[in-house]
Amino acid sequence: MTRQKPRTLDEFLALYDPDSTRVVADITPARDADGNSPFIIVRHGRFTAVLALMPFTGEGAHLCIDTFSFVDGKDATAGVFGMSNGQRSALLPSLGTKSHGWYSAHTVAVLFGEQETA
């Protein structure tokens, strides 16, 4: 049986947290008087992600989340891929959607871990 993709936040939560046991951090970011917005720091062993939440209001309003990666406390890189309709791609243009003029995906995954150079 194929599972239907949730089309609303309520459907998503009902599918992936049906018994409401997941820890949920529900944050509505706001900029302070100096224009700064909040950071969320997520740690897992050697890996740390700093999420910079940047709400933009007015014409073209949107939420931007920049992700900064660290491994062992040092600047690192992160891999990214997008997924739409079951198709995973490192090349977002191939997914055929855009948001605010940028190529987009229904899900964007950021991977922290092994570091290598080309």
Is the separation of the CB atoms in 64 and 56 below 8 Å?
Answer: yes
Residue 13, Cα to own-chain centre: how many angstroms? 16
CA atoms within 13 Å, Cβ hemisphere of 18: 2
- Name the one residue in this structure whose structure tokens are 């599972």: 3
Q: How confident is the model at residue 115 (pLDDT cuts 50, 70, 90)?
A: confident
- pLDDT of res. 15: 93
- Percentage, residues of the chain above pLDDT 70: 96
Decide if pLDDT at 22 tops 70: yes
pTM: 0.79
Residues in the chain: 118
- Report which DSSP code applies to 58: S
pLDDT of 67-108, one tens digit each?
999 999 999 988 888 888 878 888 888 888 888 888 888 888
